[in-house]
Amino acid sequence: MSAEREISQMTGESVARVLSERGYNVSVIRCGKDLPARLATARIDVVFNALHGRYGEDGCVQGLLEVMGIPYTGSGVLASAIGMDKIACKRVWQTFDLPTPEWRAVAPAETIGASFVLPAKLPVVVKPAAEGSSVGVAIVRERTKLLPAILKARTFGPEVLVERYVAGKEITVGILGTRALCAMEVVAEGDFHSYEVKYTPGKEQFLLPAPLSKKAYDRVLALALEAHRAVGAESYSRVDLRVDARETPFLIEINTLPGLTNLSYLPKMAAHVGVTYSDLIETILDMASVKLREGENP
């Protein structure tokens, strides 16, 4: 039920195919407002959460599954909510003194006029506070483009994030369990990694491992793992960073339910370190759990 519904369906279809091939009894349930009834009717033992975006990635479905006592893959309610809310996530990272570009939140009713204060000199990045897959994201290089970019971002949610644009390399790190798998540079065709670029074959190049000095590479891996732990993420995630010309890394966002399609980043990084797509899916399934500790259930 989010702007990422199409990608969710692609992830779900890929995951269902792999698990079926490995002998699991798989039921594909498309998320809607009747989800609780459908889960109860289907007598689900464990949920592989293939949803991206609102409701599925922000803690809502996780909370439902906790109430129903159904084990599920990925992070729990709190980590999911923090990871999806870019503003909350920035605040958590800053509490842990983790580097992230200068930023500011734009309140829903805030007027964007001549007195609007930017967090840094242009260019800046404008994005919805709670969407993924680069939905509603714009790089603003001229002051006159700021208001249109914020208005566009607001169509995906009331809160908007404005942050300093870091010129340099787009680096992403896959996390599986307690391990940072590797760092990959993603080179986009055009201005940036838009939704269209991400999900159109041939519009991105992937450099594995990311072309960084050993010191910078190790720092990126360590920083991504710190970012994952800081928000309380579990099982798996993907952490996105920008690395500037001096090889200084800056955290951009964490995806607590990264895509698992044939074009997605995490499977590429897993394959680079010898983890096949099928093994990746089954490993994620094996880490499924209900997050409430024993004895806390009424």
Residue 265 bears catalytic tag: no
Residue 259 bears catalytic tag: yes
Pick the catalytic residue: 133, 235, 237, 264? 133
Q: How far apart are CA 29 and CA 6, in angstroms?
A: 14
Q: Taking Cα atoms as reference points, which of 57, 53, 8 lies closest to residue 236?
A: 57
Residue 56 bears catalytic tag: no
Pick the catalytic residue: 55, 199, 236, 277? 199
Pick the catalytic residue: 12, 55, 253, 264? 253
Pick the catalytic residue: 54, 154, 238, 242? 238
Pick the catalytic residue: 12, 53, 83, 259? 259
Residue 255 bears catalytic tag: yes
Residue 199 bears catalytic tag: yes
Beta strands in the chain (DSSP E): 103-106, 124-128, 138-140, 160-164, 169-176, 179-188, 204-207, 236-243, 249-255
* Strand pairing class (249-255; 124-128): unpaired
Beta strands in 2-107 (DSSP E): 103-106
| In contact, 126 and 138? CB cutoff 8 Å | yes
Residue 238 bears catalytic tag: yes
Pick the catalytic residue: 170, 185, 234, 240? 240
Residues 6+ apart with CB under 8 A from 137: 125, 126, 127, 128, 153, 192, 194
Amino acid code (one letter) for 57: E
Residue 4 bears catalytic tag: yes
Pick the catalytic residue: 235, 255, 265, 277? 255
Pick the catalytic residue: 2, 4, 8, 80? 4
* Strand pairing class (103-106; 249-255): unpaired
Q: Please tell me whether residue 173 adopts helix, strand or coil conformation.
A: strand
The residues annotated with a catalytic role in the active site are 4, 133, 199, 238, 240, 253, 255, 259
